[in-house]
Amino acid sequence: MTHATLFLLHLHRHFQEYGISLSGSVIQTDNGTEFTAPWNSRKVTAFTQVVEKCLGATHHLIPPGAKTYQSDVESFHRLVEEYLYAAEPFGSEKESLRKAVLYQASFNCTRKNSYKGDTPLNLVRETYPGLPLEALVFIPVILDNLLVPYKDELAQLAKVGTGSTMCLHFPGKSSVLDKPASRRSSGGYRA
């Protein structure tokens, strides 16, 4: 079980609370060991199981060495490193989480993306005008602290094989959303 898998489970639970579905989406990752099995293995990783079985999405790996496929992610990581982690040391875990919340709010709500010309918040609201603001507030967590709350789900993942239809569903709120404004219909929001 990797932190990437644990994070994905946590994000999935958050989205379900707001009726947001990633079904039919493509989750693209690099070829890191947290996402892939050894080249000669027939096993599917826990990460891929969560993507396919829980989210109903497809896990797609970028071609080896094709770092430009992940340029948005790499740019974000560089900015987090520069403006959050390298800015000043954290005094405690609580302080690091507080600063992460402030950084996330600034990054998503006030800082304009130079390539896309607007804040992430405004870009999402243009595409999904009914999306509640709370759905966009994903509180930073220390992933190690989620091991106990997710112990049952993690145990299920450890027991299932590649042919399993195991999926984690969490009761959530009804969504005020459906599809983007240009394709509205009844039902939950789909990314």
Summary mean pLDDT of the chain: 79
Q: Is 100:141 a contact under the CB 8 Å cutoff? A: no
pLDDT at 83 over 70: yes
Q: How confident is the model at residue 89 (pLDDT cuts 50, 70, 90)?
A: confident
User: Closest by alpha carbon to 52, among 164, 178, 175?
Assistant: 164
At 118, list the tokens. Answer: 């607007």
Better pLDDT: 118 or 73: 118
Q: 14: exposed, middle or buried (C-beta count within 10 Å: 0-12, 13-18, 19+)?
A: middle
What does the chain come to in residues? 191
pLDDT at 109 over 50: yes
CATH says 1-159 is which class? alpha beta
Query: Cα-Cα-Cα-Cα dihedral of 66, 68, 74, 79, to 10°?
Result: 160
Q: How confident is the model at residue 186 (pLDDT cuts 50, 70, 90)?
A: very low
SS3 for 189?
A: strand
- pTM, two decimals, is 0.74
Domain limits of the chain? 1-159
